[in-house]
C-alpha cells in the first residue's frame, strides 16, 4: 500500500466536513513531511507515512480539523527539529496545545519501561488529557503501531503489547470506542499469548464450520418476524473475537466447550421504543437464558453506552447473544466519545464542542469513585489498574523522567523527589523554561529544572512550606546538620584555646588517636560535644595528653572562647564554674542512600521482622544506631512508629546484581480447608514455583479451617505474586494474602 497523498487526506476530511480549512491541512502535510525528511520506521517505510495513517484513522471517526492536524504533526516535536513555538506560529495555540499534550505522553512511552513508572503513567495519561482529543490521537497512534508491531524488535514487542492491553484498550473502552478497543485487544493478545490466540482461533473456526449456518438462519428468521410486525431493522450476526472468548474462559475458568454464546447479533432499529418491541418478539420466539438480560437503555453505562442485551437459546440449541439498539446508540457504541464530534446533518459550519452532551467526556474530569463501574467492577479492575488521581500532579525533569507529587507541591518538593542532594542544594527553579519562585505550585505536565549551588543548606523555614514527607524530613536533617556544624566550629575554637593554655599542640590527628578514651566515634562528634557543652575541654586535653597536670577550671569554656560579655546586650554574665549548655532537638546521623546489596555493605541490613521486603517493593530504611538498618516496604504499618523521628529514615533502593541473584524474605497468610493432604498441596505448590519455605505456623480456629502463616524467601515481587496466584487456584485454599508488617 503506497503512502497516502495530500489530496486523499483532504478529500477524506471534506467528505464529512465540507467547511474544512483545506489550506491548513495542506500546510500541516508539507510541514510534517519536511520535518521528518528521510526518517524511516522499523518497517523500512518512510516515517512520515505513520502520522498520515494515524490522521486517516481519525477521519474515520469524523474528527475536526484541529485533531487531524495534530495527528499529522504529533511526532514532529519529539523526533525532529520542530518546536512548539514554530507550530503555534503556523497553526495557532489550540493545535500547539494538542501537540504538546501528545509530546508529553510520548515521553512517557519511553519511561514506562520501569515498572514503578507504569502506575504514574496511567494516572498521568488521564491527568494530561485536558482535551480528550489528545487521547483520541494517542489511541489512533497506538492502533497503527500495534498493526505494524511485527516490525519492532521482539524484546520491545511484548512490553508494547502489554501496555496496550493494560492501558490503551481499557481507555478506549472507557471512552466508549468498542471497535477500537476490540482491535487493540486482539492485536495485543496475538503477541502476548500466541499459543492461546492460535488455539482459540482454531476452535472458533471449527465451531463456525459446524454451526456457522446458525448465523444465516437467525438473521433471516429475525428479519421476517420483525417485518411481519412492521419493524424496520438491520440484523447482523458475527462471531465473538478470540480475546473476549479467552478472557471469559480465564475469568469463569471454563473450557471452550462450556462457553455458551460464541455468536453475537446486533439488531438496529429507528426508535428507542422499537428496541423493547424487538425484545418482546425475540423472547416470544426463543427461550431466554435467565440472568443474561440487561437494559442499558433505561440505565446507560458510565461511558454513554446504551443497548438492550439478552441471550436466547436459538435454533440447533446454540446460545445466541443479542444487542438491540437504535442507530444513534450504535454510533456512540462504535465511536464513543468521538461520536459527539460528528457534524450534525453535514451542514453545520461549526463542529459541536466536545463535552456539550458527552457524559463520557465529563467522566474524564470526574474522580476515582466512578472507575469501578466498568463492564462490571471486577472486570474493569481486572482490565486495568487505571486510577484518576486528581490529588496528584505529574511533572518532568528536563530529561523526561516522570515525577509524581501530591497536589500543592512546589519545586522544592520536586527537587527532593529527584534526590536529597538536589533538594539540599536547590537555589532556584525554571518551570517550562521560565524562571519561577521556588514556592510556585506545580501543575500537571510542568517541566521543572532546578538550579543548584554547592555548599548551600536549605533554610529551616522551608520545612513548613513543603508538602512531601521526604522533603520535610530531609530539610529537618539538613538543618540539624548545619546546626551541628556550627557547634563543631564553636567546639574547635574552644579546644584550640584550651590546648593553647596547656601549651600543647592541637590537631585532628591527635584528637583521632584519643577517640577511644573519649568514647566518641569521630572528630566531629568530639567538637560538637564540646561546642554543646556536653564535654569539658579539659577532659579532651587530658585524653590527648594523659601525662598533663590537670588544669584548674579557672574560667568556663564559654569564657575561654570569648563568649563572656557584659550583661544587657542580649548576652549574660558567666560566673566562674558555669557549665554552658545549648539544648537542640536530638541530632541524628546524616542520611545516605545505601544500595542494598544482600546483607553486606557498610551497615548491617535487616528486613522487617513481620513480613520482610522483596525487590519490586518500594522500600525505606529505618536506622537504629548501633544496630544497623531495617528495610520496610513503603506500605508497612510499622513505619507509623517512626513518624516523629525523621532523622532515622534513609533513602534506600534495590541494587541487585543479576549475576548473583539472591532471595529475600516475605510472608503469606492462607486459610485452608481441613482435609487430608491440604498442607502437602500448599508446600508442593510453593516448591514447584521455586519458593523456599523457612517457617510454617498453623492455627486451627475451628474444625473446618486452618490458618497457615508461611515465611518464605523469593527472588522478587513477580515471583511472590506468581506463587500467590497459583495458590489461589487451589480448591483447598479459601484465601491467600501477602502479609506486610
Active site residues: 78-79
User: Residue written as cell 461549526?
Assistant: 350
| Cβ count near 362 (within 10 Å) | 13
Instruction: Give the separation between CA 288 and CA 76, rounded to whole angstroms.
Output: 55
DSSP string, 186-216: HHHHHHH-HHHHHHHHHHHHHHHHHHTHHHH
- The set of cell numbers assigned to 615 is 525487590
Instruction: Give the separation between CA 670 and CA 706, rounded to whole angstroms.
Output: 8
DSSP string, 628-647: EEEEEETT-GGGGGGTT-GG
| C-alpha torsion 482→487→491→492, nearest 10 | 20
Residue 622 · residue 649 · CB < 8 Å: yes
**DSSP conformational letter for 81:** S
Instruction: Give the separation between CA 521 and CA 527, rounded to whole angstroms.
Output: 11
**Could you tell me which residues come within 8 angstroms of residue 172 by beta carbon, excluding any fewer than 6 positions away?**
139, 178, 180, 181, 184, 336
- ∠ CA 73-77-78, nearest 5°, is 115
User: How many angstroms separate the Cα of 141 from the Cα of each of 54, 167, 180, 366, 615?
Assistant: 5, 14, 12, 25, 34
- The set of cell numbers assigned to 285 is 420466539
- As a 3-state breakdown, the chain gives helix, strand, coil percent values, each rounded to 5, of 50, 15, 35
In angstroms, how far is CA 290 from the centroid of its own chain?
A: 40
| Cβ count near 416 (within 10 Å) | 29
**Could you tell me which residues come within 8 angstroms of residue 234 by beta carbon, excluding any fewer than 6 positions away?**
266, 267, 268
- The set of cell numbers assigned to 397 is 525533569
Burial of 371 (0-12, 13-18, 19+ CB in 10 A): buried
Amino acid at each position: 500500500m503506497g503512502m497516502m497523498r495530500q489530496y486523499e487526506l483532504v478529500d477524506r476530511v471534506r467528505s464529512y466536513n465540507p467547511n474544512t480549512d483545506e489550506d491548513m491541512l495542506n500546510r500541516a502535510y508539507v510541514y510534517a513531511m519536511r520535518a521528518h525528511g528521510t526518517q524511516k520506521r522499523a518497517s523500512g517505510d518512510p516515517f512520515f507515512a505513520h502520522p498520515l495513517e494515524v490522521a486517516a484513522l481519525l477521519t474515520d471517526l469524523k474528527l475536526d480539523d484541529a485533531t487531524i492536524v495534530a495527528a499529522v504533526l504529533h511526532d514532529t516535536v519529539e523526533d525532529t527539529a520542530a518546536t512548539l513555538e514554530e507550530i503555534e506560529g503556523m497553526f495557532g495555540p489550540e493545535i500547539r496545545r494538542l501537540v504538546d499534550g501528545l509530546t508529553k505522553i510520548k515521553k512517557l512511552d519511553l519511561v514506562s519501561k520501569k515498572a514503578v513508572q507504569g502506575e504514574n503513567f496511567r494516572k498521568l495519561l488521564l491527568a494530561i488529557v485536558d482535551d480528550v482529543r489528545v487521547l483520541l490521537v494517542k489511541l489512533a497512534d497506538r492502533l497503527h503501531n500495534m498493526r505494524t508491531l511485527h516490525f519492532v524488535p521482539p524484546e520491545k514487542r511484548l512490553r508494547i503489547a502489554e501496555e496496550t492491553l493494560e492501558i490503551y484498550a481499557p481507555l478506549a473502552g472507557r471512552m466508549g470506542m468498542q471497535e477500537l478497543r476490540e482491535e487493540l485487544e486482539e492485536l495485543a493478545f496475538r503477541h502476548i499469548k500466541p499459543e492461546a490466540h492460535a488455539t482459540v482461533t482454531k476452535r472458533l473456526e471449527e465451531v463456525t464450520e459446524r454451526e456457522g449456518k446458525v448465523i444465516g438462519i437467525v438473521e433471516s428468521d429475525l428479519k421476517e418476524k420483525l417485518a411481519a410486525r412492521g419493524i424496520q431493522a438491520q440484523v447482523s450476526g458475527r462471531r465473538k473475537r478470540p480475546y473476549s472468548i479467552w478472557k471469559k474462559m480465564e475469568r469463569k475458568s471454563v473450557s471452550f466447550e462450556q462457553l455458551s454464546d460464541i455468536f453475537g447479533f446486533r439488531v438496529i432499529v429507528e426508535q428507542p421504543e422499537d428496541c423493547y418491541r424487538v425484545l418482546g418478539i425475540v423472547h416470544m420466539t426463543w427461550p431466554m437464558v435467565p440472568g443474561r438480560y440487561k437494559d442499558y437503555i433505561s440505565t446507560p453505562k458510565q461511558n454513554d453506552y446504551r443497548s438492550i442485551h439478552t441471550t436466547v437459546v436459538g435454533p440447533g440449541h446454540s446460545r445466541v447473544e443479542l444487542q438491540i439498539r437504535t442507530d444513534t446508540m450504535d454510533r456512540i457504541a462504535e465511536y464513543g466519545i468521538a461520536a459527539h464530534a460528528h457534524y450534525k446533518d453535514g451542514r453545520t459550519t461549526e463542529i459541536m464542542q466536545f463535552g456539550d452532551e458527552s457524559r463520557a467526556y465529563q467522566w474524564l474530569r470526574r474522580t476515582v469513585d466512578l472507575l469501578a463501574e466498568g463492564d462490571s467492577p471486577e472486570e474493569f479492575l481486572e482490565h486495568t489498574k487505571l486510577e484518576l488521581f486528581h490529588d496528584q500532579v505529574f511533572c518532568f525533569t528536563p530529561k523526561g523522567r516522570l515525577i509524581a507529587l501530591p497536589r500543592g507541591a512546589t519545586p522544592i518538593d520536586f527537587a527532593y523527589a529527584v534526590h536529597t542532594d538536589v533538594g539540599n542544594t536547590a537555589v532556584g527553579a525554571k518551570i517550562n523554561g521560565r524562571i519561577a519562585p521556588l514556592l510556585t505550585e506545580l501543575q500537571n505536565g510542568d517541566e521543572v529544572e532546578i538550579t543548584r549551588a554547592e555548599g548551600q543548606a536549605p533554610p529551616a523555614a522551608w520545612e513548613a512550606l513543603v508538602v512531601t514527607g521526604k522533603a520535610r524530613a530531609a530539610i529537618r536533617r539538613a538543618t540539624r546538620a548545619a546546626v551541628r556544624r556550627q557547634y563543631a566550629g564553636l567546639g574547635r575554637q574552644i579546644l584550640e584555646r584550651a590546648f593553647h593554655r596547656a601549651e600543647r599542640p592541637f590537631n585532628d590527628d591527635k584528637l583521632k588517636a584519643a577517640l577511644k578514651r573519649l568514647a566518641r566515634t569521630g572528630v566531629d562528634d568530639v567538637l560538637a560535644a564540646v561546642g554543646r557543652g556536653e564535654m569539658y575541654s579539659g577532659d579532651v586535653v587530658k585524653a590527648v595528653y594523659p601525662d598533663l597536670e590537670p588544669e584548674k577550671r579557672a574560667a568556663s569554656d564559654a569564657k575561654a572562647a570569648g563568649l563572656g560579655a557584659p550583661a544587657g546586650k542580649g548576652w549574660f554574665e558567666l560566673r566562674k564554674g558555669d557549665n554552658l549548655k545549648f539544648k537542640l532537638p536530638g541530632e541524628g546521623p546524616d542520611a545516605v542512600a545505601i544500595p542494598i546489596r544482600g546483607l553486606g555493605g557498610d551497615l548491617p541490613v535487616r528486613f522487617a521482622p513481620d513480613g520482610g521486603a522483596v525487590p519490586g517493593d518500594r522500600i525505606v530504611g529505618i536506622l537504629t544506631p548501633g544496630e544497623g538498618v531495617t528495610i520496610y516496604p513503603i506500605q508497612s504499618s510499622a513505619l507509623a512508629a517512626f513518624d516523629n523521628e525523621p532523622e532515622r529514615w534513609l533513602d534506600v533502593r534495590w541494587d541487585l546484581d543479576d549475576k548473583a541473584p539472591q532471595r529475600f524474605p516475605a510472608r503469606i497468610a492462607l486459610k485452608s480447608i481441613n482435609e487430608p493432604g491440604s498442607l502437602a498441596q500448599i508446600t508442593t505448590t510453593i516448591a514447584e514455583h521455586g519458593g523456599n519455605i523457612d517457617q510454617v505456623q498453623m492455627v486451627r480456629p475451628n474444625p473446618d479451617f486452618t490458618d497457615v502463616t508461611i515465611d518464605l524467601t523469593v527472588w522478587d515481587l513477580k515471583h511472590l505474586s506468581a506463587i500467590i496466584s497459583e495458590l489461589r487456584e487451589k480448591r483447598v485454599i479459601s484465601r491467600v494474602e501477602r502479609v506486610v508488617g
